[in-house]
């Protein structure tokens, strides 16, 4: 009888541990509370004056609509990842309209293999222009075989203006959770 109890407790602990791991944010410093630690930035700054939660956010500024201004982070996925959920809060101030319909304050991602080689095209989650107060953007996605990493990108894509970013998250989710976003 004790063996059955120990096995039951062990299975329960593994299930709880898996569910906790599955909901862990894989992004380093997604709230920018530790400045830009974990991010590769080309011109990003942090600000304690405009933020969604916590005490800081990141900001991208551009006065030149002929330039791409951005930052990124490459996130390694656990083995056997099938579904992910990416989220971020974005605020836009005076973001101009570009020549292409995808130009704007951008939240996008690319899929990478183990050697950081891009697989397929980048996928746009948000493209914001004009003025917008903080808004949560989220996208659930199926991970194809061979994808080992996700490159999260935030940019002012050939536009001028200011983009604020906060609460960036990438989580492994279950198929049932994925289906909630369909």
Structure tokens at 30: 């997604």
Structural domain for 110, as ranges: 40-179
Residue 171 falls inside a structural domain? yes
Distances from the Cα of 95 to the Cαs of 6, 65, 127, in angstroms?
Answer: 59, 10, 10
Residue 81 falls inside a structural domain? yes
Which SS3 state, helix, strand or coil, does residue 4 take?
A: helix
- Kindly report the CATH number assigned to the domain that includes residue 131: 2.60.120.260
The number of domains in the chain is: 1
Kindly give the confidence (pLDDT) of every residue in the chain, 182 residues in length, as a single tens digit, with 9 standing for 90 and above: 555 554 444 444 444 444 444 489 999 999 999 999 999 986 899 999 989 999 999 999 999 999 999 999 999 999 999 999 999 999 999 999 988 888 999 999 999 999 999 999 999 999 999 999 999 999 999 999 999 999 999 999 999 999 999 999 999 999 999 999 98
Q: How far apart are CA 164 and CA 117, in angstroms?
A: 29
């Amino acid at each position: 009888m004790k063996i059955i109890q120990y096995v039951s407790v062990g299975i329960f602990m593994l299930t709880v541990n898996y569910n906790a791991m599955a909901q862990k944010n894989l992004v380093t410093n997604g709230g920018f509370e530790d400045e830009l630690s974990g991010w590769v930035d080309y011109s990003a700054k942090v600000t304690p004056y405009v933020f969604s939660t916590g005490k800081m956010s990141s900001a991208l500024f551009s006065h030149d609509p002929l330039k791409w201004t951005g930052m990124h982070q490459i996130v390694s996925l656990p083995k056997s990842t099938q579904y992910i959920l990416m989220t971020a809060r974005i605020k836009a101030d005076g973001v101009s309209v570009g020549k292409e319909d995808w130009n704007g304050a951008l939240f996008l991602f690319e899929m990478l293999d183990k050697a950081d080689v891009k697989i397929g095209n980048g996928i746009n989650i948000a493209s914001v222009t004009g003025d917008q107060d903080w808004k949560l953007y989220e996208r659930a996605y199926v991970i194809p075989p061979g994808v080992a990493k996700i490159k999260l990108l935030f940019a002012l894509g050939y536009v001028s203006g200011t983009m604020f970013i906060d609460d960036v998250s990438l989580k492994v989710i279950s198929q049932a959770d994925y289906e909630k976003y369909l």
